[in-house]
Amino acid sequence: MIQEAVKSSSNSFIMLRAMVGIGVLCGFLIVVAYEGTLPRVQRLKAEALEAAIFNVIPGTTQTKTFNWDGESFTPAKAGDSPLVYAGFSDSGELAGVAIEASGQGYADIIRILYGYDPERQQIIGFYVLESKETPGLGDKIEKDQHFLDNFTAMDVSLTDAGEIANAIIPVKSGAKQHAWEVDGITGATISSRAIGNILAESTAEWIPRIFNHKSAFKQGNQ
């Protein structure tokens, strides 16, 4: 009886020792791996984001991240959201602001980044950050040059009341007549329409905000 009790208590001691030992070992390995890769991972991620920003704001050589706190744009600190990314040319002038947007696509959520030039009041670039659209059909939104040309000079000018004069609307392939329309893609109707809708929603919220506070971005670089 006593022996059994001793045996079972030593058993649970062995079990405890094993679990704690393995737990400590595993925790140690994970922390080492995390700390070891962290600088490089952060650098690669920053580079990827920067490359995307360069892509949507032609002529950018430096970027700076800003946070919208509900009233004004301030240089972003860690953990802030939502963020926009200002791009500056060599001479330090504001080349444009990159804004992230997302919405329902054909298969799953599509995440995009687009560039806005407050001087010309136009969308000047567009890039798909993440999409699971059907390969060969829906993913034309990333590759189709004719579709991407929609976004090199898309009109988002504001009225005197501070709202977008002509909301962005998706139209059928080949039916584009105005600079605020998104010409669709044959074979990717829903995906291209989804992009139009995502842009329309996001621009209505962000463009007036950025336009009215565009001085904040200039000061931010000095």
Write out the residues near another protein by the rule CB under 8 A: 11, 14-15, 18-19, 21-23, 25-27, 29-31, 33-34, 36-38, 40-41, 44-45, 47-48, 81, 104-109, 130, 132, 134-137, 190, 193-194, 197
23 or 92: whose CB is closer to another protein?
Answer: 23
Cα torsion angle, 59, 61, 65, 71, sign: negative
- The least CB distance from residue 50 to another protein, in Å, is 12
Nearer to another protein, 11 or 221 (CB): 11
d(CA 126, CA 113): 6
**Smallest separation (angstroms) from another protein to the CB of 181:** 17
**Nearest to another protein of 120, 132 (CB atom):** 132
Rounded to whole angstroms, the Cα distance separating 188 from 143 reads: 12
Strands 83-88 and 73-75 come out as unpaired
CA–CA gap between residue 115 and residue 13 (Å, rounded): 62
Taking the complex as a whole, the smallest distance from the CB of residue 26 to another protein amounts, in Å, to 4
Report how far residue 202's alpha carbon sits from residue 190's, in angstroms, rounded to the nearest whole number: 18
Residue position matching structure tokens 């009215």: 212
Which CB sits closer to another protein, 109 or 153? 109
Contact (CB, 8 A) for 103 and 198: yes
Least distance CB 31 / another protein (angstroms): 7
Alpha carbon 75 to its chain's center = 17
Shorter beta-carbon distance to another protein: residue 106 or 206: 106
In the complex with another protein, which residue's Cβ is closer, 30 or 153? 30
Q: Are 119 and 125 in contact (CB under 8 A)?
A: no
- Smallest gap from residue 27 Cβ to another protein (A): 8
At its nearest, how many Å lie between another protein and the CB of residue 94? 27
Paired tokens of 206: 């962000």
CA 151 to chain CA centroid, nearest Å: 17
